[in-house]
Structure 1
């Protein structure tokens, strides 16, 4: 790929021109199927919540927030589909799309963390939980705080994904990884802290329920759901964040632009696999 990139450091403007475009039909078809399936499921879930809005509880508010984050991530996929077939030019739109991806992914992660904490508190302090007041207001406040934090962080570090730092519309240059301060925020606040909280709360939830002398199907289903959610979180988000760390630690070769086609294809398929599993 030939590249012509000039940057104005003072006003953060870039002109980037890609002279080659590589069509990836398999990736485009896969994203199309994911988009259609995800759109139907998330819209159906959101509609079900809206129909029952009069009986909303704090749990419903967290689940609605999670659905909105997932739906917004699904609506980002048409741009990936277009890029797979026609290739998007590297412009400021790419910066916006990457920011949208980060915002919705970490909103989903933090909402999942809030749900895990909520489940743990309800099981650990069942009588107190029933007497807690303004639970719905607290849930609204938590969800609003989540969006405020992720949007603010992406706004602060928006220059990290300027067009001149991108190799394609959705890929960074291998010789220009994420800034260390932004990476620290993503790894600690966006992954490690939520991971530890989810593992702790899920483990406590399962341990408390197992102590209850009850073999009901509801108890077994609750344990199975919490266990599955914890495993999915670990398997889904760990590879992405490990890759971010490795990109920072491993120095790219000087000739990274001229990797053999097979190596590029394998890298693209690995990234596609991560997207498929997470969605």
Structure 2
């Protein structure tokens, strides 16, 4: 299979993803109002996507060099870990935001108690921890060996890791999200769209969440299904043929990169679908926070850095 298109594609979506997700984080950080619980979940999702985009060029170089790894053993582990952590963390940030919308529309009294920035930050902290713990096998079993970044543990360990990740990072979140989405859609149909104030705000936030959910599953579901089919073939649940092996390689490359494209798509959806985000973005632009004069550039950069450190430190409490 010709893979010459993969490195340019990776470099392109990486550059776009860094710019777009950095814009999202800047808008949430620089806006004068504190983020809502939903926005905390979405900003953490943007942070996960930004981390992926920063490290993806390493994988692009690896592919361009015909799987010859030139960055050493530590970077092999770090890049591999962050790439798989992004998917796991993104799924569970979506689970959190979907549960938040479900409570807001279906159980508003319970939502008032749980819809707080404190609970949102604690939930995000748990997601980051879970994403790391679930992918410890990648950290332990990915090694720089024979000029390649490869899996060095046994096939049984690899199968167990793939099976657990498929259940924990796809099947269970899918069931939760499907349940919440059905209830959300039913609640939206049963309420007037002309409602004002808080209810109207909840509707707009929910529409954005549904758009992000749809984009995520369009981008990632083909790869997950391909991986499940590939595992079935590898362990002789499905009979392997040359044609099946050939098309699995093609599907894995194409659908994996489609999944990576989701990190670029989310910020676009925030602008196109998220009216509240657009409003915040223009307020930040008009306030001059994104276009400070050159004489104030150093000061604003220092302030932004301290704010980001403070937000990260607070979210870990």
User: Which bracket does the TM-score occupy, shorter chain normalised?
Assistant: 0.7 to 0.9
The residue that corresponds to 2:29 in the other structure is 50
Change (3 A) 1:212 1:147: same
Summarize deviations over 1:170-221 as a string: whole Å, max 9, x none. Answer: x769x94862321232111111111111111112111101111335796886
Distance 2:133 2:20 in 1: 29
The residue that corresponds to 2:69 in the other structure is 89
Change (3 A) 1:273 1:62: closer
1:274 counterpart (258, 265, 268): 258
Q: Which moved more, 1:186-195 or 1:216-225?
A: 216-225
The residue that corresponds to 2:182 in the other structure is 203
Show the 5 A alignment for 1:76-115: 76-87=55-66, 88-89=68-69, 92=73, 93-115=75-97
Distance 2:257 2:216 in 1: 15
Q: Which moved more, 1:116-125 or 1:78-87?
A: 78-87
Distance 1:57 1:224 in 2: 16
Post-superposition offset of 1:157 = 5.0
Show the 5 A alignment for 1:1-279: 24-52=3-31, 54-87=33-66, 88-89=68-69, 92=73, 93-130=75-112, 132=113, 135-163=116-144, 169=149, 176=155, 179-214=158-193, 224-251=207-234, 266=250, 269-271=253-255, 273-279=257-263
**Which one has the bigger helix percentage?**
2
Post-superposition offset of 1:251 = 3.1
8 Å contact from structure 1 (residues 195, 234) kept in 2: no
Change (3 A) 1:167 1:184: farther
Change (3 A) 1:51 1:241: same
Find the residue that maps to 1:63 and give its secondary structure. helix
8 Å contact from structure 2 (residues 37, 120) kept in 1: yes
Change (3 A) 1:158 1:224: same
The runs of 5 or more residues in structure 1 that have no matched partner are 1-21
The runs of 5 or more residues in structure 2 that have no matched partner are 264-317
8 Å contact from structure 2 (residues 226, 251) kept in 1: no
Summarize deviations over 1:113-134 as a string: whole Å, max 9, x none. Answer: 110010110111224433x267
The residue that corresponds to 1:10 in the other structure is none
Post-superposition offset of 1:265 = 7.9
Find the residue that maps to 1:76 and give its secondary structure. helix
Post-superposition offset of 1:36 = 1.6
Distance 1:63 1:81 in 2: 27
Post-superposition offset of 1:158 = 3.0
Find the residue that maps to 1:30 and give its secondary structure. helix
The residue that corresponds to 1:4 in the other structure is none
Aligned length: 249
Distance 1:115 1:134 in 2: 11
The residue that corresponds to 1:16 in the other structure is none
Give the TM-score normalised by the residue count of structure 2: 0.66
